[in-house]
């Protein structure tokens, strides 16, 4: 009898228990899950109100941000849409706006002038072994000693200059750290000592003479990782004048952060060619470059600096033309001398006709290296460290060509 009653009780329990549990689930209210929202760009008060309602805690940090107004949220530690737990701590970074003081401290001036250095040959000699001034190997200083070129690079670095690609300068993409100044290196004539190949290694890769221009540049790349070493080499029909290795050199140069451009097919004086002859010199060289790679820059370094002005009848053919069915467009033509050029953000900048500094020594006279860098001391481009903004002093705001970048004046 007792067993029968026990069985009956168990049976009733098994029937009633799930019903009771179900009733408890239905009667007791569920705690709603809480999810993180996006507060980037919103005001501080909004996150405070949110955390109060959702029973979580907030920790505020503060930082400067040029893209976010003061007291607006820059970033949050909790991902949008992720679940929030009670009393969880959310870290929020609030914008302090633009740091004008840092621009003043570094004398930022992105309308300052930029040196585009013109080199030709780098000769494996010490400067004392030449018969000319300083590091000049020839009378006019177009050929420079190995020793002088090393000293040039050290001088640029120690004086706060950082290399940028020529094509980036032309396009207004100046990526230098805060307080530093851009400098552009160019080499004309495609001389063998630009990148002298001494043979191939066991992998078939070119071996480079450490005293050639690129050999020296590569040593600086290792010595100063922040130097962003680069240069543009302007070639004639002989390319790098090493027929056996030309193709491998071009491939290596482009792969390792350097550029190649057009110096006319036969190094012609473009004041002495006809209009058709000018098209042939420019177009034929572009076609040769195109047969080697599609990664050359559409920039012409004018032999002898000719034509000397943009109004010459041949200049329009430097910029545009068609040769043997191939149409070319040149975005910039480089002159021979003798001084730095304008910032690419200046209303005075003419990307079609760019000035260069002849890299030679002349006791600080006649636009030599010392003369030009003395001039630049108070006129140089000084970067804000952000390639997406242009920072200038208020009095110079009217001279800015914005290039669709954010402009900040102080």
Counting every residue, how long is the chain? 410
For residue 23, name the pLDDT band (cuts at 50, 70, 90).
low
Indicate the range of 18-22, 182-186, 243-247, 390-394 predicted with least confidence. 18-22
How far apart CA 277 and CA 368 sit, in angstroms, is: 33
Which residues, 6+ apart, have CB-to-CB distance to 80 below 8 Å?
36, 37, 38
Helix (H) or strand (E) run with residue 334 in it: strand 332-334
Please tell me what DSSP assigns to residue 43: B
How far apart CA 261 and CA 258 sit, in angstroms, is: 10
Q: What is the pLDDT of residues 72-108, one digit of tens each?
A: 999 999 999 999 999 999 999 999 999 999 999 999 9
Task: Give the per-residue pLDDT at 32.
Answer: 73
| CB neighbour burial string for 289-320, b if at least 16 within 10 angstroms, e if fewer | beebeeebbbbbbbbebbbeeeeeebbebbbe
Task: Give the per-residue pLDDT at 14.
Answer: 63
User: 174: closest CA among 404, 350, 348, 387?
Assistant: 387
Strand partners, 163: 183
Task: Give the per-residue pLDDT at 34.
Answer: 84
Q: What is the pLDDT of residues 59-75, one digit of tens each?
A: 999 999 998 999 999 99
Give one word for 284, left, alpha or beta, with left for phi > 0 and alpha for psi -120 to 50: alpha
Task: Give the per-residue pLDDT at 337.
Answer: 78
Domains of the chain: 34-97 (3.30.10.20), 103-409 (3.20.20.370)
How far CA 185 is from CA of 258, 273, 283, 325, in Å, comes to 10, 28, 24, 33
Q: Is the dihedral of CA 362, 176, 300, 332 positive or negative?
A: negative
Strand partners, 407: 390
- Mean pLDDT throughout 113-130? 97
**Residue 241, pLDDT above cutoff 70:** yes
Strand partners, 187: 119, 233
Cβ(309)–Cβ(335) below 8 Å: no
User: 72: closest CA among 93, 50, 94?
Assistant: 94
Task: Give the per-residue pLDDT at 379.
Answer: 97
How far apart CA 118 and CA 230 sit, in angstroms, is: 14
Q: How many CB atoms lie within 10 A of CB 82?
A: 8
The string of DSSP codes covering 271-303 is: TSS-HHHHHHHHHHHHHHHHHH-S---SEEEPG
**Residue 3, pLDDT above cutoff 60:** no
H-helix segments, 209-274: 213-223, 246-255
**Residue 307, preceding bond cis, omega within 30 degrees?**
yes
How far apart CA 364 and CA 227 sit, in angstroms, is: 26
> HSE (CB half, 13 Å, CA atoms) of 182?
33
User: 356: closest CA among 109, 108, 121, 169?
Assistant: 169
How far apart CA 149 and CA 132 sit, in angstroms, is: 15
Task: Give the per-residue pLDDT at 33.
Answer: 85
- Let me know the angle formed at the C-alpha of 262 by 296 and 192, rounded to the nearest 5 degrees: 90
Helix (H) or strand (E) run with residue 18 in it: helix 2-27
Task: Give the per-residue pLDDT at 8.
Answer: 62
How far apart CA 169 and CA 175 sit, in angstroms, is: 9
**Residue 131, pLDDT above cutoff 70:** yes
Task: Give the per-residue pLDDT at 27.
Answer: 62
Task: Give the per-residue pLDDT at 79.
Answer: 95
Task: Look at 281 and 10; give whichever has higher pLDDT.
Answer: 281
User: Average model confidence (pLDDT) for the chain?
Assistant: 94
**Residue 29, pLDDT above cutoff 80:** no
Indicate the range of 23-27, 114-118, 179-183, 338-342 predicted with least confidence. 23-27
> What's the predicted TM-score (pTM) here?
0.86
Cβ(189)–Cβ(121) below 8 Å: yes
For residue 236, name the pLDDT band (cuts at 50, 70, 90).
very high
Cβ(117)–Cβ(184) below 8 Å: yes
User: 90: closest CA among 111, 75, 69, 107?
Assistant: 75
């Amino acid at each position: 009898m007792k067993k029968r009653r026990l069985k009956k009780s168990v049976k009733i329990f098994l029937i009633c228990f799930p019903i009771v549990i179900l009733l408890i689930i239905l009667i007791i209210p569920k705690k709603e899950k809480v999810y993180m929202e996006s507060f980037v760009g919103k005001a501080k008060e909004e996150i405070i109100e949110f955390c109060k309602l959702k029973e979580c805690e907030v920790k505020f940090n503060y930082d400067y941000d040029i893209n976010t107004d003061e007291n607006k949220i820059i970033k949050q530690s909790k991902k949008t849409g992720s679940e929030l737990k009670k009393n969880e701590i959310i870290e929020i970074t609030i914008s302090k706006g633009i740091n004008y003081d840092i621009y003043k401290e570094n004398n930022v001036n992105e309308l300052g002038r930029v040196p585009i250095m013109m080199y030709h040959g780098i000769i494996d000699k010490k400067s004392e072994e030449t018969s000319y001034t300083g590091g000049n190997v020839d009378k006019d200083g177009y050929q420079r000693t190995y020793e002088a070129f090393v000293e040039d690079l050290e001088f640029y670095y120690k004086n706060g200059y950082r290399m940028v690609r020529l094509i980036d300068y032309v396009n207004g993409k100046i990526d230098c750290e805060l307080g530093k100044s851009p400098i552009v290196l160019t080499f004309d004539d495609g001389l063998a000592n630009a990148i002298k190949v001494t043979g191939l290694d066991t992998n078939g890769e070119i071996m480079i003479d450490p005293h050639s221009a690129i050999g020296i540049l590569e040593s600086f790349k290792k010595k100063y990782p922040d130097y962003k070493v680069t240069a543009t080499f302007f070639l004639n029909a002989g390319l790098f004048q090493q027929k056996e290795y030309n193709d491998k050199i071009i491939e290596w140069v482009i792969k390792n952060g350097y550029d190649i451009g057009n110096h006319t097919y036969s190094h012609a004086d473009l004041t002495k060619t006809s209009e058709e002859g000018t098209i042939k010199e420019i177009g034929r060289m572009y076609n040769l470059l195109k047969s080697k790679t599609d990664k050359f820059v559409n920039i012409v370094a004018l032999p002898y600096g000719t034509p000397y002005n943009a109004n010459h009848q041949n200049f329009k053919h430097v910029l545009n033309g068609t040769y043997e069915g191939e149409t070319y467009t040149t975005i910039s033509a480089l002159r021979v001398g003798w001084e730095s050029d304008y910032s690419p953000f200046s209303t005075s900048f003419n990307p079609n006709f760019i000035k260069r500094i002849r890299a030679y020594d002349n006791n600080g006279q006649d636009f030599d290296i010392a003369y030009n860098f003395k001039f630049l001391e108070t006129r140089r481009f000084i970067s804000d460290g952000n390639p997406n903004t242009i920072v200038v002093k208020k009095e110079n705001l009217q001279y800015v060509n914005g290039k669709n970048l954010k402009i900040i004046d102080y």
